[in-house]
């Protein structure tokens, strides 16, 4: 199949949890299918791009900048109906790149990594699979609960409320949803009874992490 995989970050080097999940999904897909990776670049990742090009076609878009700085952008986002995450992840340049890549023959699958990247307009001809690394709005609620500063507490409460709406809308729009735990999959299934939801847990390479023969320690 022809698969387009959209990611907010380049999944290499494989040194943190997000990159590990996306990289190994990409690696497995590329072993069987024709994969096109579309992602943001921070401008200093040429070597990583070259590694990924051994697996698949790679298209990068410069990451959108926050011209006024993060704190002012967060303050401005409190007056917007959209979340700060939308401001961080959406760019016209990325939308144009997606439009160009999907203007010809339809991809067999659009694989979108994380609900933050579901903010784009996608080709309706292709089934869309959303791979969720967390239920993101739960994390924002936990940050709100733990925050001591009143202004930051207010910001995180608003962010939780706005992104909850956006994340549930992303679930509704997807043709399939992959969650990393059974609890999360059951939660989404209960919220959206007709949705196609599966649990795809993170795993361990038991060949690489095999126990030592000497277990005396």
Q: What is the pLDDT of residues 139-194, one digit of tens each?
A: 999 999 999 889 889 999 999 999 999 999 999 999 999 999 999 999 999 999 99
Is the whole-model pTM more than 0.75? yes
Burial class (CB in 10 A: 0-12, 13-18, 19+), 192: middle
In this prediction, residue 215 carries a pLDDT of 59
What's the rounded mean pLDDT across residues 201-210?
80
95 in Cβ contact with 120 (< 8 Å): yes
Q: How does pLDDT run across 96-107, given as a tens digit for each residue?
A: 999 999 999 999
What is the C-alpha separation between 36 and 97, in angstroms, rounded?
Answer: 12
pLDDT band per the 50, 70, 90 thresholds, residue 214:
low
Q: How does pLDDT run across 55-106, given as a tens digit for each residue?
A: 999 999 999 887 677 788 888 888 889 999 999 999 999 999 999 999 999 9
What is the C-alpha separation between 84 and 64, in angstroms, rounded?
Answer: 13
What's the rounded mean pLDDT across residues 9-16?
95
pLDDT band per the 50, 70, 90 thresholds, residue 3:
very high
Q: How does pLDDT run across 125-146, given as a tens digit for each residue?
A: 999 999 999 999 999 999 999 9
What is the C-alpha separation between 122 and 118, in angstroms, rounded?
Answer: 9
What is the C-alpha separation between 183 and 191, in angstroms, rounded?
Answer: 12
In this prediction, residue 69 carries a pLDDT of 75
pLDDT band per the 50, 70, 90 thresholds, residue 122:
very high
């Amino acid at each position: 199949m022809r698969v387009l995989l959209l990611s907010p970050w380049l999944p290499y080097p494989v040194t943190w949890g997000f990159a590990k999940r996306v990289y190994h999904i990409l690696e497995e897909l590329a072993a069987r299918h024709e994969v096109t990776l579309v992602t943001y670049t921070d401008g200093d990742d040429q070597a990583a791009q070259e590694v990924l090009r051994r697996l698949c076609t790679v298209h990068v878009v410069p990451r959108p900048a926050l011209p006024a700085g993060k704190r002012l952008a967060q303050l401005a986002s409190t007056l917007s109906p959209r979340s700060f995450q939308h401001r961080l992840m959406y760019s016209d340049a990325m939308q144009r790149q997606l439009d160009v890549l999907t203007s010809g023959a339809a991809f067999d699958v659009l694989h979108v990594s994380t609900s933050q990247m579901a903010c784009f307009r996608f080709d309706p001809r292709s089934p869309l699979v959303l791979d969720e690394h967390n239920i993101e709005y739960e994390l924002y609620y936990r940050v709100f609960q733990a925050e001591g500063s009143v202004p930051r507490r207010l910001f995180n409460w608003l962010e939780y409320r706005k992104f909850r709406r956006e994340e549930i809308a992303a679930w509704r729009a997807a043709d399939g949803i992959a969650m990393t735990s059974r609890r999360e999959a059951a939660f989404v299934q209960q919220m959206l009874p007709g949705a196609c939801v599966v649990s795809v847990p993170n795993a361990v390479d038991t060949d690489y992490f095999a126990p030592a023969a000497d277990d005396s320690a």
